[in-house]
Structure 1
Amino acid sequence: MNDPEIRAMLYPLLQGGVYVDELPTSTTRADVVHITEHYMHGFEVKGDNDTLQRVPKQLPCYANAYDLVTFVVTEKHLEKLLPLVPEWVGVLVATPEGLRPHRAAGYNATVQRGAVAGLLRLTEVKEFLTDLGLYHVGLLRRRDITKLLNTAHSIPLSQLAQFVRTRLMQRMPQRLEARAVRKAERLSRPVRRRKKPKTKRATATKVRVRRAA
């Protein structure tokens, strides 16, 4: 089974809120993120043609940002995946009949303020901090903001996470509209005709003409 087939089975299970494909998350992209008013659930899809080589790098990115994390894999990957992920990480097994729950995702206690804020634009994060009375953040760079958030325990994680979830949910209609515009632009472009490759016979004819000249 491939990635698109697995995602098609996953989407109907994501009830309430919105889901976002390929959401940039630290140094990687989460395949699907389900965002509701109360939590963010990151999903990583591994089809038959994928490998598990990137799991050790992907997992910390998701663990720092999402309340829940689930890997959706085919039977081929199940045994090799389990030693790579902690028990709180959920696992779904993709089969031709549908997605089979192997282990439900548990609460993630390793979420970091800086990683959650990293899901938004820098201007939005600064807006949040300014509303808290931190007026000096206007000229800070992303890495400085991340360091501030990770060390300033006076900034409530729950409040920051709620702000991030709300902004991402509000942005979804814009994403869909932009996606529709890009699709319409692709369909409106004239189809380019491929040039026919030159045959050996045509090339030989040209050579004979040149020699005759």
Structure 2
Amino acid sequence: MNDPEIRALLYPLLTEGVYIDELPTGTTRADVVHITPQFMHGYEVKGDGDTLLRVAKQLPCYTRAYDFVTFVVTEKHLPKLLPLLPEWVGILVASPEGLRPHRPASYNATVERAAVAGLLRLSEVKAYLFDRGLHHVGLLRRRDLSHLLATAHSIPLSGLAQFVRDRLMARLPQRLQARAERKAERQQRPARARKRSRKPTVKRKRAAVTSPRK
């Protein structure tokens, strides 16, 4: 099974809130993120044609940002994947018959403020902090802001996470509209391309190289 086939099985299970495809998360992108008013659940999809080489880089990014993490994989990946994941990470096994739970995801107690804030635009995070009395954040870069969040214990994780969830859910209609516009553009490109007159390809013959007569 490939990635689109597995996602088609996963989407109907995400009934509450919204889900976002390819959400930038740290130094990677989460395949699907299910966002509700109460939690964020990151899903990583591995089809038959995928490898597990990037799991070591993906998992720490998801661990810092999401309340729950689940890998959705085909049967062929299961034996090699199990040693790579802590027990609290959930696993769903995909087959043409559907998704079979191998183990459920447990609550992740290692979420970090900086990673959660990193899911939003820098301007949004600054506005949130400014409203809470941190008026000096206006000129900070992303790296400096992340350091501040890592040490600013006066900013509760629960409040920040709620703000991030609300902003991401509110942004979904914009994402869907932009996605529809990109799809419409792609569908129009072949039609325009067919209308263009094609110039005949001219093949140049190489001049024959002859040895000078002696």
Instruction: Give the match for residue 193 of structure 2.
Output: 192
Structure 2 counterpart of 1:103 = 103
- Unaligned 5+ segments in structure 1 are none
1:66 is matched with which residue? Answer: 66
What is the CA-CA distance between 1:182 and the residue it aligns to? 1.4
What SS is found at the alignment partner of 1:9? helix
Report matched runs for 1:33-182 at 5 Å. 33-182=33-182
Q: Distance in 2 between matches of 1:185 and 1:170?
A: 25
**CA–CA distance in 2 between the matches of 1:53 and 1:197?**
46
Q: Per-residue deviation at 1:153?
A: 1.1
- Give distance in 2, aligned partners of 1:7 and 1:73: 11
Task: Write the letter of the residue equivalent to 2:99.
Answer: L
Give a deviation string over 1:7-32, Cα, whole Å, max 9, x none: 00000000111000000000000000
**Cα displacement string for residues 75-97 of structure 1 (whole angstroms, at most 9, x for unaligned residues):** 00001101000000000000110
Identity across matched positions, percent:
75
Q: Distance in 1 between matches of 2:172 and 2:192?
A: 31
Helix, strand or coil for the counterpart of 2:193?
coil
Give the 5 Å matches for 1:10-29.
10-29=10-29
Over 3 Å counting, the alpha-carbon distance change for 1:22 and 1:197 in structure 2 is farther
Aligned to 2:212: none
| Matching residue's letter, 1:184 | A
1:44 deviates by 0.2
Distance of 2:154 and 2:87 partners within structure 1: 30
CA distance in 2, matches of 1:65, 1:150: 13
- What SS is found at the alignment partner of 2:10? helix
Alpha-carbon distance, 1:184 to partner: 1.8
1:171-211 per-position Cα deviation (integer Å, ceiling 9, x unaligned):
0000001111112222233342496996xxx96xx85xx99
In structure 2, distance between residues paired with 1:81 and 1:183: 34
Give the superposed CA RMSD.
2.1
Classify the secondary structure of the residue corresponding to 1:192: helix
Q: Tell me the TM-score normalized by structure 2.
A: 0.90
Question: Structure 2 CA distance, aligned partners of 1:86 and 1:197?
Answer: 60
Matched residues in 1 for 2:136 and 2:97: separation? Answer: 55
Q: How many residues align?
A: 205
- Structure 2 CA distance, aligned partners of 1:182 and 1:115? 29
> 2: CA distance between counterparts of 1:187 and 1:81?
38
Structure 1 CA distance for aligned equivalents of residues 165 and 200 of structure 2: 53
For normalisation by structure 1, the TM-score amounts to: 0.91
